[in-house]
Structure 1
Amino acid sequence: MNSIPVGRRWALYPTPGCCLLITENRFVMRLVWLSINASYSHSSLALPLLHQASRTQSNWVWHKLESSLGDSPEELAVQLAELEADLVCCSLYLFNCEFVFSVLQRFKVLQPDCMVIAGGPECLGSGAVSVLEKCWAIDLAASGEGEALMPEILQALSKGILPHGLSGTAWREPHSGQIIAKELTPPLQYDNWPKDNPPCQSKFFALDKPFVQMETTRGCPHGCIYCSSNRTEMRYKSLEQVAGELELLSKKGVTEIRLLDRTFNLPEKRAKLLLQMFRLKFPELKFHIEIHPQYLGEELRQELLLANPGQLHLETGIQSLQDEVLQALGREASADKSLQGLAFLCQCSAFDTHADLLAGLPGQGYENILDDLKRLIAIGPAELQMEILKVLPGTPLQKQATALGIRYNPAPPYEVLQTRLLSPRMLRQAGKLSRLVDLFYNQQKLQAPFRLACAEHAGFINDFMHFLSNDGFSAHWAGSLSKRFIYLAKFCHNASDHLKDCIALHWLKAGLTLNETPYYQPEALSEIPPDCLLLEGDWSVLGLKSTRLYLLHGAQQSHVLAFNRAVAMQQPCAIWQYQANRTP
């Protein structure tokens, strides 16, 4: 490590304008954490984790400057400069790095003597060097778990020493500007995790967000080449530690927790015990969990069947339903077993299950993408997300991309642009498919008719997308709900009576305009006819003042719908199936 030259910011003794404070014959130094989130609802664990790990460095005062991507980088740079920090730290992600760079470069012009350190996923492996190359305002980048470095960095700076030469870092020499790195791979691990105090004990743990994040494990045994946790050592918090942390969170008023565990249900026995703990000891908390549907043994399935209604939200990383593609990815998975596990999860009524797919994978063709979508839609997860594969810094895929024939954007978000089997145009089409699924399948009011159309028409997804594209549909299209219904109805005008009946019924269930119902015109009724089977709602609405009844007389099925604004503003408050094959 090098001694820091005397200057405005890094003097061993206070100089005019320096923010060092003298307290009991010690210098108190100021660290400012620049926290840039994707939106208000998001907050990283990085700051509270590092703050807890560095609690022995008592001569440092920590501050947080928090913002989101929608704010002004110019204003943030001024606010950061006004805090007169001795050290500025930040965590870089693919979604925020360009914005953070623009803030830091303005700040560094205003405060050239303040040291700036970055960490986070963008700095993994060779990414630490890349970050320094991309942003001249950053002096040091750390690869891996920052808790392993932060106390040592703060201690060095307190002594007037530059924290250069530490394993797991890349740094910029102050005079020559040369970038030097030391042992960036494998990324650093913090040996004291999980024995350290939980991050919720830090004053920087965000309790004002809709949800909080929590770890019960670190590492992942799987070999997915696109993941930064590829085959990293598994470390676990004990069940007692997890219970203690959940008790703290509950006492702090937290109601929703997103677990960051890469694969929650490995090992299965531990997952079963955790789910049992959530169900019996913390029924007031909601949990968002990532789960691998292939690893669902009988005991774990039985526990999932006992889940408290609404307590769990499961996300399954399917990625692909082609075994040869999974093998190319390094995923030790069977498409059929994953599909069977997903089918089980989707049949569990106590929680919603989401499924994720990737496009742009090695060995994947366009027909594979369409087939994967069709098979998952047939299973029926609550939501289905498909994203273009990203070649992230520090991942095996980044090193293997050329050999695999993958071309990708070198700047965030690092999306794949071309593969051996997917042309640039095909990947653009895949982006439109993703938008189509999000707007039509993931809209619950449209999901049933959309699924039925997929089941009845073998090439529906691709044909419907081309139909929409002829009218300007793109990956950024955002039509209203009624407009989406109208497009679907137009495309399906020659479809089966069953599908048309379904579209018309769900139009009305969505609360859309009665006299614009596709295919049929609802008829006003003065009373409910006989032979009606209640499907939704309650018979009691018939006795309420201002309840209006309408008959939707379809080609195969007819329904009576009750509307009352005092119960539901636009949507029907009760629905009956009308079983007589005639108009009353």
Structure 2
Amino acid sequence: MKILLTTLNSKFIHTNLAIRYIKECSKDIRDIELKEYTINNQMDFILKEIYRGGYDAVFFSVYIWNVEDILRLCRNLKSVKPDMIIGLGGPEVSYDSEKLMKKYPFIDYIMYGEGEITFRELCMMFRNEKDIKDIKGIVYRDGENIHVNDERPLIENLDIIPSPYDNMNPEEYKNRIVYYESSRGCPFNCQYCLSSAIKGLRYFSIERIKKDLKNLIEAEVAQIKFIDRTFNAKKKTAMEIMSFLMENDNGFTTYHFEVTAHLIDDEMLEFLKNCKPGLFQFEIGVQSTDPFVLEACGRKDNFERLSNVVKQIESYKNIHQHLDLIAGLPYENYRGFEKSFNDVYRLGIEQLQLGFLKMIKGTGIRKTADMHDFRYKNYPPYEVLSNRYISYDEILKLKDIEEMVERYYNSGNFSLSIKYLVEKFYMDSPFRFYEEFSEFYNSRGYFSVSQGRNENYRILLEFYEEKIGMNVELFRDMLKFDYVSTGKTSNVPSFMVRNYPDDFKNRCHIFLQEDENVKKYIPKYEGIPAKNIIKNVRFEPFRYDVKNYNLNEEPLENECVYMFDYNISKIFEKSHSFKVEI
């Protein structure tokens, strides 16, 4: 019997952990193949691949981003090969398995809950070594009847799951993103999160974790994303893992963690101070800064402590921080979300993610949706449309604001100009800037047309001229500084100041030919000919010294030249800039 384990990842660079665990648990009793596709592959291509593979059974790992495509594939596979056994597993099919089996007659099995042992026993059943009635965690079809077997107990000793990273093929993982778990479960009970449906927190042994990570580091994966819901739930374990990663840094692989900031104490802060810049990324779920809203969601947090921790880590300039908010939570209206937004925005972190509540199957908030008059999409990802506290019109406004935040804040392409705009004119409520800017976008029809790089800058200038209207030339220089700082360009757009002296290019070369200049500003280029250095730097004249401009002072023209160096690590900045005399 030939079996395929597969899934549709959201991107090619991603890897699926679930099917690897399942394969390792059963490879001693069954010949099993593993293949990964993406939601961007043509469905006809995947259908052809699986059909021509000659498989007797195919099992899919199912999530909110791939469930609809997988169901279409399964329907067609059953049409062209009626004898093929089709099974599903994963979070998107674990909480309404019987309903799905009744709705989709082409599904033969659904594994619900943790699937490693369930699939192994199913393989044994295929060899007549196990009775289907004795397999826990399985839903199966018997003629017209659907049978739901008892729930499978959680695996207490996670180390019994064989590692997929022993005897691995490094080429399979090189330059890819690997999802990794050091634990299962979560100590918290957030009702919008699927982890709230599983009680308890279980860890792999530290020896197992280190062995896995060492193998992945040697394979030079691009990034390891820890999928632990609260990576720092146990401080000692978290610090031991991070210490190991710091000691075994290969200069290439980076690490992403979901952490709870208020659990980071002074000892861990002192430890993090010594981390190499760019090695770690922290995703911190704030969701809301209203204690009443958080309590209604079953979430515990301490925003004052979180703020102190985030600011302290920010001061180290070595860890990229990504903070999340969720719109549509119970009891939080539009203006309440504005306050949460402002609270987080003022922390000055690298990225602020505006998410929208997803009424995920199996979560407490979905089970109590009627209590708050929730309306949500009846298809994945089940995103909220409205509730008793926020209207669909307001959700749509937040969607537009989310787009502005992504484009103009999270991109890092407008650092100086957005900082000036918000701190000078919108400090009472940064949210109001993005609100007004998104309304401006709508009024001009810009959301309906794809915008290129230059257009994004031009539109921001247009907004500034119309809505602010003061010191326009200063702001134009700020936009140019942002534009030039984001990457080497052969020219700047015509709507930016372009006052180049006739001999400007020659003066730039002369500057780089002077050893003292190179030694003072860009010593890494010492001994390199100017014609080679110029490939990595750019000189740009400005009417105002915008980088050193004081918000509290009247702007005065102060013509100057900045040199931008693009040959840097680009962890927190896209270039280094220096004011120079040429």
Normalising by the smaller structure, the TM-score range is: 0.7 to 0.9
Q: Distance in 2 between matches of 1:447 and 1:139?
A: 54
1:431 aligns with 2:399: yes
Counterpart of 1:538 (choices 522, 539, 560) is: 522
**Structure 1 residues 203 and 509, CA, compared in 2 at 3 Å: closer, same or farther?**
closer
Q: Does 1:457 align with 2:425?
A: yes
Is 1:386 the counterpart of 2:386 in the alignment? no
State which drifts further: 558-567 or 414-423: 558-567
For residues 519 and 74 of structure 1, what CA distance do their matches in structure 2 show?
48
* Structure 2 match to 1:226: 192
Structure 2 equivalent of residue 84 of structure 1: 54
Corresponding position of 2:14: 42
Q: Structure 1: which 5+ residue stretches go unaligned? A: 1-28, 579-583
1:505 to 473, 481, 485: 481
Task: Map 1:264-413 onto structure 2 (within 5 A).
Answer: 264-282=231-249, 284=251, 285-413=253-381
Q: Per-residue displacement from partner, 1:162-203 (whole Å, max 9, x unpaired)?
A: 735633232232x21x3332345xx75234413432221376
Q: CA RMSD, aligned part only? A: 3.3
Letter of the 2:227 partner, please give it.
Answer: L
> Which segment drifts farther, 258-267 or 373-382?
373-382
- Report the residue type matching 1:86 in the other structure: D
CA contact (8 A) 1:49 1:199 kept: yes
Change (3 A) 1:105 1:575: same
Q: TM-score scaled by structure 1?
A: 0.84
1:445 aligns with 2:417: no
Closer, same or farther: CA 491–204 of 1 in aligned 2, 3 Å: same
> Could you tell me whether the CA contact under 8 Å between 1:552 and 1:558 is conserved in 2?
yes
Tell me the CA shift for residue 78 of structure 1: 3.1
1:172 to 141, 160, 166: 141
The separation in 2 between residues aligned to 1:183 and 1:480, in whole angstroms, is 55
Shift of 1:115: 1.7
Distance 1:489 1:537, change over 3 A: farther
Secondary structure of the corresponding residue to residue 492 of structure 1: helix
Match of 1:111 in 2: 81
Name the CA distance, whole Å, in 1 between partners of 2:469 and 2:141: 65
Which one is further off, 325-334 or 198-207? 198-207
Structure with greater helix share of residues: 2
Rounded to whole Å, the distance in 2 between the matches of 1:30 and 1:543 is 62
Instruction: Flag the 1:413–1:500 CA change in 2: closer, same or farther, 3 A.
Output: same
Q: Distance in 2 between matches of 1:452 and 1:489?
A: 13
Alpha carbons of structure 1 residues 516 and 217: separation in structure 2 relative to 1, 3 Å: same
Distance (whole Å) between structure 2 residues aligned to residue 163 and residue 559 of structure 1: 78
Greater displacement, 34-43 / 91-100: 34-43
Q: Sort the Cα spacing of 1:286 and 1:573 in 2 relative to 1 into closer, same or farther, 3 A.
A: closer
Count of residues paired in the alignment = 538
CA distance in structure 2 between the aligned counterparts of 1:371 and 1:269, rounded to whole angstroms? 35
Partner residue, 1:193? 158
Write the deviation string for residues 182-236 of structure 1: whole angstroms up to 9, x where unpaired.
Answer: 345xx75234413432221376894145221211111101111111111621111
**Deviation, structure 1 residue 129:** 2.6
Answer yes or no: is 1:552 the counterpart of 2:524: no
CA contact (8 A) 1:561 1:572 kept: no
Structure having the higher strand fraction is: 1
> 1:490 matched to which residue of 2?
462
Amino acid at match of 2:6: L
After superposition, the Cα gap between the structure-2 partners of 1:286 and 1:521, relative to the gap in structure 1 and judged at 3 Å, is closer
* Consecutive unaligned residues in structure 2, runs of 5 or more: 427-431, 512-516, 545-554, 569-573
Q: Give yes or no for the alignment of 1:131 onto 2:103.
A: no
Per-residue deviation, residues 548-576 of structure 1 (Å, max 9, x unmatched) = 85431124454313479999xxx988531
How far the C-alpha of 1:500 sits from its partner, in A, is 5.2
Query: Which residue is 2:453 aligned to?
Result: 481
Paired amino acid for 1:576: K
Given that 2:93 and 2:110 are in contact with CA atoms closer than 8 Å, whether structure 1 keeps it comes out as yes
Task: Specify the alignment match of 1:522 in structure 2.
Answer: 499
Distance 1:119 1:559, change over 3 A: farther
Q: Does 1:472 align with 2:445?
A: yes
Structure 2 distance, partners of 1:490, 1:278, is 47
8 Å Cα contact 1:128-1:143 kept in structure 2? yes
Bigger mean CA offset, 144-153 vs 519-528:
519-528
Instruction: Assess, with a 3 A threshold, how the Cα gap between structure 1 residues 549 and 85 changes in structure 2: closer, same or farther.
Output: closer
Quick check: 1:152 aligned with 2:121? yes
Q: Given residue 505 of structure 1, which amino acid in structure 2 is its aligned partner?
A: F
Structure 1's 543 and 337: CA in aligned 2 closer, same or farther, altered over 3 A? same
Q: Distance in 2 between matches of 1:295 and 1:440?
A: 31
1:359-399 CA distances to partner (integer Å, 9 max, x unpaired)? 11111111223333333332222222212111111111221
423-432 vs 198-207, greater mean Cα deviation: 198-207
Contact 2:358 2:381 in 1 (8 A): yes
Query: How far apart in 2 are the matches of 1:136 and 1:171?
Result: 11
* Percent of aligned pairs with the same amino acid: 21
Instruction: Confirm or deny: 8 A CA contact 1:211 1:254 kept in the other structure.
Output: yes
Q: TM-score, normalised by structure 2?
A: 0.84
CA pair 182-453 structure 1, distance change in 2 beyond 3 A: farther
- How many angstroms does 1:35 deviate by? 2.2
Give the letter for the 1:201 counterpart.
Answer: D
Query: Are the structure 2 counterparts of residues 204 and 424 from structure 1 closer, same or farther at C-alpha, using a change threshold of 3 Å?
Result: farther
Q: 1:130 to 1:486 in 2, by over 3 A?
A: farther
Amino acid paired to 1:561: Y
